[in-house]
């Protein structure tokens, strides 16, 4: 974290955009390595200027994405006021959306379109909150509209976490009542974890509407993460013991979905 602060404060303002992206990626890799998390990325379908949509399991998802596909992230405006984290986010191309204002939503949509026009990746989590990684929630289609309106592709990205023995890991989960400290402690108690990031074919370039794109992205991410088919009731994937209960679903929102991004 200290090295990230120094980079953000002293180096970022002096760098070209390409250099900033390289620094963002290298810092993400270094932080994950400190936590004992190795990233395995399949970037076969990655293209410049795509809206990255991913499933959401943990606070480290952002660093997993940045390690492979350095991105600007869409976040609720409240994060901007969080001590330290808000300051860092503001200086790392985060797009803050203020809920309850259609005028502000239009400004945010234009910011997203401008970044995509420059060939940048913009990333968001269309579930709007975290899960334990064993199933997917509903995807909020309105979040995809800025890319579709600007004629840019949507790139579904599947994130999953695995133990050294090849079993799916629940250690990184940051859902329900799990605190940041509990989540981080669970990660650190593992000697090594594998974060697998899989890109799937881009969507949204064949005239699909946002609901169609959201449904197809959800299905593609389920397949890429090795989860049950997204249009079926949740079930336990192969290699993960136990029974998925209603109590396993998140009870609160880690990242409430903006209500008016249209």
**Total number of residues shown for the chain:** 262
Helix, strand, or coil here: 77?
helix
59 SS3 class: coil
Reported as a single tens digit per residue, the pLDDT across 113-158 is: 999 999 999 999 999 889 999 999 999 998 899 999 999 999 999 9
Tokens 């991105």 label which residue? 71
Q: What sign has the CA pseudo-torsion 101, 121, 70, 3?
A: negative
Q: Summarize pLDDT for 19-37 with one digit per residue, the tens.
A: 888 888 988 899 999 999 9
User: Which position has the higher pLDDT, 177 or 237?
Assistant: 177
Confidence tier at 261 by pLDDT (50, 70, 90): very low
- Check: pTM over 0.85? Answer yes or no: no
Comparing 74 with 164, which gets the higher pLDDT?
164
Measure the CA–CA gap between 153 and 75, rounded to whole angstroms.
Answer: 20
Q: Which pLDDT score is estimated for 19?
A: 80
The answer to whether 225 touches 160, Cβ cutoff 8 Å, is yes
């Amino acid at each position: 974290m200290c090295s990230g602060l120094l980079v953000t404060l002293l180096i970022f303002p002096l760098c070209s955009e390409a250099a900033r992206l390289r620094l963002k990626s290298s810092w993400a890799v270094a932080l994950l390595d400190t936590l004992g998390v190795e990233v395995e990325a399949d970037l076969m379908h990655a293209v410049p200027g795509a809206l990255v949509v991913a499933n959401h399991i943990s606070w480290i998802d952002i660093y997993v994405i940045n390690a492979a596909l350095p991105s600007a992230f869409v976040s609720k405006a409240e994060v901007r006021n969080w001590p330290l984290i808000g300051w860092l986010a503001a200086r790392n191309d985060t797009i803050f959306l203020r809920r309850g204002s259609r005028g502000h939503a239009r400004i945010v949509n234009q910011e997203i379109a401008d970044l995509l026009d420059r060939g940048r990746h913009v990333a968001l989590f269309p579930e709007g909150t975290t899960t334990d990684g064993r199933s997917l929630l509903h995807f909020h289609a309105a979040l995809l509209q800025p890319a579709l309106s600007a004629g840019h592709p949507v790139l579904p990205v599947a994130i999953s976490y695995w133990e050294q023995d090849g079993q799916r890991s629940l250690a990184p989960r940051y859902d329900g009542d799990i605190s940041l400290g509990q989540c981080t402690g669970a990660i650190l108690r593992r000697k090594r974890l594998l974060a697998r990031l899989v890109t799937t074919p881009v969507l949204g370039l064949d005239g699909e509407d946002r609901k169609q794109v959201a449904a197809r992205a959800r299905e593609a991410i389920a397949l890429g993460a090795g989860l049950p088919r997204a249009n079926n009731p949740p079930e336990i994937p192969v290699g993960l013991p136990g029974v998925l209960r209603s109590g396993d679903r998140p009870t609160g929102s880690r990242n409430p979905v903006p209500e008016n991004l249209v």
